Structure 1
């Protein structure tokens, strides 16, 4: 027979182990630090984009044709010279660092305090350039680098592995960036680890929530896009909702496939030119983004959060081709190699799809269709449907739409899987393939390959 737990004995055992409590305090302190770094990064990004808007508003906006290529070229040069591991979204780097077969000596190439600082600084330059990038993916790498640094202060018997710290840090980045702690927990399970270590799962979740609370403390307990007014949905909403979901599934799958091919140096003429002249390529890509932005009246500049807010309240002033042009601007912004994410631009593209369908088929349920488009497109791009629908639910305070958002994300992710491989996994595998030959040999020995 199993003996019942002795409460007093177990309590005495817990309180007696001072080293364990010190290790827990260290992890939670680093979680606070990770959350504060994401808060600082948010303020930096917002300030930088305000600077860009000031430049865009000067003398009719033509100055951006010179400003965007110059700043982008400088940011790409600095990235390649001082912090090549900071390029791109940041999520693939954390996925690589979590690979159990990766030699620990190589982990600093993908996550470290230096890369966290570089990511914040260089991504801020991307916002100052007005590129169509987001700060949520970079926040994952920033927070993971901070949390992983806690490992050097933990005791040898702490039971808290580097893997656990990286998962906690990456998820804390999502929680703090979106002001959505629940989304951070789900992101940890679905996208980063696929499971939580039982010995430290409670501490990991506590660290994620604590980091998320740093965002709440700084910006208030408010939904990212406010609270949408969702009308009562009936069977009449089924066809418009299905159109939004399928369109986002196809577009998101194609977007993920296009990004994967572009960022893995597929053997094409433009990628050969990109490899040979990366700074010139970055300047040319930024110039194209500047032209698109001018053609749309500035609608495609930046992450697109303001456009989403206007759509949700029925005050959208975006052009008819917003979805297509934002799609192209985001692809080019990622392709030039600057540190920056795709989460927020993906949400704006999905919102645009929902807005377009609403104008044609269901203007009375426009907020609901826009929210469904956001969840569907993000799920299609990342192929992480649970994370996508929870992020959107928390960002718009859409608890009344849980089933609709979940169904949209699940179906769009399914459609995307028929068109493309998981984006972050593909990029992570490419990064692993570019490791030095001795490192690849070590990895093959560990995996039995």
Structure 2
């Protein structure tokens, strides 16, 4: 029989141990530090990309030398000293959470050292104009900060390394997108699969503190401002359904392409990449530079500026530009540069929605663009709840909850018919087995991250 809680007894128990409160204070301090790292990452990213824009405007043809040179240097440094920093960062956190990975090897994937390296290398990628985002890497950045708290906690603390990693990853998403609800859903849907009662308080506290740091630095503003949603009637059903199907197919193909490229699938180009990774990166960087020059700079960077202009009705991108952004993002990821695909995926999805709005000839442009963003991101990540909540919070689109949810769910369903889950597949590649199998085989650290030339 359950008894009513005794307030005084519980209060005495809470106040009886100073060590418990010290552990909690340490975790809270690290949550604030995680937010500060993400804020510093954001400021540095914006600053260097402005410098790149200045170079592109003043000396456009210099990009043909600048971008491939920096891309090659980034890949060389990454492979030489920081192999665990390559790619998005979300697969690393998922791999670090996998029970088959021995705890002593977790630092190969998530650590304070890799946090600093991730920031520096991703910032360098944006300085080169590569098609990457900072939001996915913010997950690894914040998780690396949070897991460092474990060394200062008491040996018998109930706060384990897994809870710290999940809390850090969720805080990274929340601070990067200024989307706290998305951080909670991301922790459940993408990182842990469930929210344990004993870890839920830690995760929410980390999200709140990291989010407060970001809000203090940038203000409580939506990522893309406030979307102007027209009245949506049954006339929008056809174009909306077309957006969901198109983004589902495109996102599924994108995820399948990335999995084949980054896991060393058999193929001539992957053999070339494995044998000469730095030269391959230089050629990939040159291709990204050429695409950027052809599109007038639209495909450089994360693509957030183009999305903002489209949502405001000031710009329209042709389907060709959207396809070229798709290619530039894939090439950048294939090179092995540390950088995320969240923001570029939103840009590609916005372009698909914008193209269908032009074809439909209706006044549904902003709505279809937002649905395209949610649909493509959901199709790539196969995390529809996270995708639609991120977009809803980014555009302050609470009036479009059902439309965004439907687009994300349908696009994710279509994607699952085309591709395996992207982040789970990449994480499985890192631990040497299949996530979800009873006993995956874990590679040695050198094989998993260093000497395996086909690793992303």
Question: Which TM-score bucket, shorter chain as reference?
Answer: over 0.9
Other-structure match for 2:49:
49
Show CA shifts across 1:285-304 (max 9, x none).
01001111111111101100
Query: Which runs of structure 2 are paired with 1:301-316 in the superposition (5 Å)?
Result: 301-316=300-315
Change in 2 beyond 3 A, CA 1:236/1:319: closer
Output the aligned Cα RMSD: 1.5
Query: Which runs of structure 2 are paired with 1:85-164 in the superposition (5 Å)?
Result: 85-164=84-163
After alignment, is 425-434 or 159-168 more displaced? 425-434
Aligned residues: 440
Show CA shifts across 1:108-138 (max 9, x none).
1100010000000000110000000010111
1-side partners of 2:377 and 2:445: how far apart?
37
Other-structure match for 1:58:
58
2-side partners of 1:319 and 1:52: how far apart?
24
Other-structure match for 2:451:
none
Q: Secondary structure at the match of 1:364?
A: coil
Unaligned runs of 5+ in 1: 441-449
Other-structure match for 2:10:
10
Q: Secondary structure at the match of 2:101?
A: coil
Following superposition, the deviation at residue 104 of structure 1 comes to 0.8
Following superposition, the deviation at residue 157 of structure 1 comes to 2.3
1-side partners of 2:127 and 2:203: how far apart?
34
2-side partners of 1:195 and 1:23: how far apart?
24
Following superposition, the deviation at residue 146 of structure 1 comes to 0.3
Following superposition, the deviation at residue 322 of structure 1 comes to 1.5
> Does structure 2 retain, via aligned residues, the 8 Å contact 1:299–1:318?
no
Other-structure match for 2:332:
333
Other-structure match for 1:36:
36
Q: Secondary structure at the match of 1:62?
A: helix
- Does residue 378 of structure 2 align to residue 385 of structure 1? no
2-side partners of 1:116 and 1:207: how far apart?
17
Show CA shifts across 1:223-266 (max 9, x none).
00000111111111110000000000000000000000000011
Show CA shifts across 1:368-413 (max 9, x none).
1000000000000000000000000000000000111011101100
- Does residue 22 of structure 2 align to residue 19 of structure 1? no
Change in 2 beyond 3 A, CA 1:221/1:426: same
Other-structure match for 1:400:
399
1-side partners of 2:445 and 2:209: how far apart?
40
2-side partners of 1:196 and 1:119: how far apart?
27
1-side partners of 2:202 and 2:348: how far apart?
36
Q: Secondary structure at the match of 1:341?
A: coil
Unaligned runs of 5+ in 2: 434-441, 448-456
Following superposition, the deviation at residue 4 of structure 1 comes to 1.2
> Does structure 2 retain, via aligned residues, the 8 Å contact 1:32–1:214?
yes
Q: Secondary structure at the match of 1:229?
A: coil
1-side partners of 2:9 and 2:162: how far apart?
31
> Does structure 2 retain, via aligned residues, the 8 Å contact 1:181–1:213?
no
Show CA shifts across 1:313-333 (max 9, x none).
111153441111010000001
TM-score normalised by the chain length of structure 1? 0.96
Following superposition, the deviation at residue 209 of structure 1 comes to 1.9
Other-structure match for 1:443:
none
1-side partners of 2:361 and 2:146: how far apart?
46
Q: Secondary structure at the match of 1:363?
A: coil
1-side partners of 2:153 and 2:4: how far apart?
32
2-side partners of 1:332 and 1:165: how far apart?
33
Show CA shifts across 1:182-207 (max 9, x none).
11111000000011222231122111
> Does structure 2 retain, via aligned residues, the 8 Å contact 1:167–1:192?
yes
Superposition misfits of 4+ residues, deviation over 4 angstroms = 437-440
> Does structure 2 retain, via aligned residues, the 8 Å contact 1:127–1:133?
yes
Change in 2 beyond 3 A, CA 1:241/1:317: closer
2-side partners of 1:362 and 1:207: how far apart?
45
1-side partners of 2:271 and 2:148: how far apart?
37
1-side partners of 2:231 and 2:361: how far apart?
13
